[in-house]
Amino acid sequence: MFLRICIFLQTLLLVACSSSEKVGEKKPIQIQFVSPSKSNLPVFSEYVGQTFGKSDVQIPARVDGVIEHVHYKEGDPVTKGQLLYTIDPVEYQTKVDEADGELEKAKSELVNAQEDLKRIKPLADMNAVSKRDLDEAIAKEKNCTPSQLALAWVIAQEDFIFPIPGTKRVKYVEENVKAVDVKLSEHDLEQIEDVFPKNAAVGSRYTEAGMKTVNL
């Protein structure tokens, strides 16, 4: 029994010595270092802000349409007359074509009216047609109504003469106002005076009995 105890103690002593030797071992320390150097470093600053142009100019569009291309970059300087946008021309080309069609139609109607006037004028001189037919032919040539032709004739007489047509309907007022757009040449005035000479209609507006009804 004693022998076993001695062997056990000897074994513990050997293990203790072996552990103490391992604990005492020291490894070299790894040190990281950087060599300093001298140089100029840029300094950056960040700010939050908003910039504005010297003058804010609004450029309203004169026409509506679909923009096909933008010919400038935002912030670029532009000059007067510079092309900024290209708008889809289909819509406006259609309108131009329609206007050209209306123009050709108006030209055709003018030619027809002139031919009618040439045909009716000799007949009116022979009293083969009424003066009213000739009057309407002249008005058709001028692209106006007979009433507009009459008002235009009055306006063309003297600068101090102003016609005062009477009507109760708005459409006739608008029609009468457009008489100022009817331009009559010297030849036109001669034709009209041939139909209705200046002294063809003179006298009071009402008969003597009629003047009494209006208290005059």
Q: What would the two tokens of residue 18 be?
A: 């072996």
Model pLDDT, residue 208 = 78
Residue 22 pLDDT exceeds 60: no
Element (H, E) at 87: strand 85-87
Count of residues in the chain? 216
Percent of the chain clearing pLDDT 70 (strictly above): 82
What letters, b where the CB count within 10 A reaches 16 and e where it falls short, cover 34-62?
A: eeeeeeeeeeeeeeeeeeeeeeeeeeeee
Residue 21 pLDDT level (bands cut at 50, 70, 90) = very low
Range among 10-24, 134-148, 198-212 rated most confident: 134-148
Question: Tens digits of per-residue pLDDT, 65-113?
Answer: 888 889 988 878 888 888 888 888 888 888 888 998 888 888 787 777 7
Percent of the chain clearing pLDDT 90 (strictly above): 0
Mean pLDDT over the full length of the chain? 78
SS3 90: helix
Neighbours of 140 (CB within 10 A): 20
DSSP state of 144: S
Question: Tens digits of per-residue pLDDT, 42-59?
Answer: 888 888 888 777 777 777
Enumerate residues 6+ apart whose C-beta is below 8 A from 211.
204
d(CA 128, CA 140): 19
Question: Tens digits of per-residue pLDDT, 144-176?
Answer: 888 888 888 888 888 887 887 778 888 888 888
Burial category of 214 from C-beta neighbours within 10 Å (exposed 0-12, middle 13-18, buried 19 and up)? exposed
Closest by CA to 144, choosing from 189, 105, 115, 183, is 183
Radius of gyration of the chain (CA): 53
Residue 11 pLDDT level (bands cut at 50, 70, 90) = low
> What counts of helices (H) and strands (E) characterise the chain?
7, 2
Model pLDDT, residue 20 = 47
Q: Which of 5-19, 23-37, 50-64 shows the lowest per-residue confidence on average (mean pLDDT)?
A: 5-19
Closest by CA to 143, choosing from 109, 193, 103, 187, is 109
List helix spans (H) across the chain: 2-23, 90-125, 131-141, 146-155, 170-177, 186-195, 208-213
Residue 4 pLDDT level (bands cut at 50, 70, 90) = low
